[in-house]
Amino acid sequence: MCLAVPSKVISTDSIHAWIETMGVQQKVNIQLIDSPKIGDYILVHAGFAIEKIDEEQLILFNETLYKMLEWTENE
């Protein structure tokens, strides 16, 4: 199973963005999406930004992820 991770954009140039994901910063390619702005949330998979998401989608994703983690801990 592949999972795209939501991340916050902290800086950009024409090809890359620096993002923060759970406290970790990294550089990703942003050529597959419309120009993200600082503060935007994006989904990242394998070093590429694949979609912009809004705050509502971010909250839903995080709630779902935490439920999945709780479920796996109970296994």
Question: Regarding predicted confidence, which is higher, 71 or 60?
Answer: 60
Tally of structural domains, the chain? 1
24-50 tens-digit pLDDT? 999 999 999 999 999 999 999 999 999
Calculate ∠ Cα 46-47-52, nearest 5°: 100
Burial of 30 (0-12, 13-18, 19+ CB in 10 A): buried
Whether 19 contacts 6, CB under 8 Å: no
Which tokens hold the place of 14?
A: 């024409």
The CATH number of the domain where 32 resides is what?
2.30.30.140
**Res 2 pLDDT > 70:** yes
8-29 tens-digit pLDDT? 999 999 999 999 998 999 999 9
**Res 73 pLDDT > 90:** no
d(CA 51, CA 36): 10
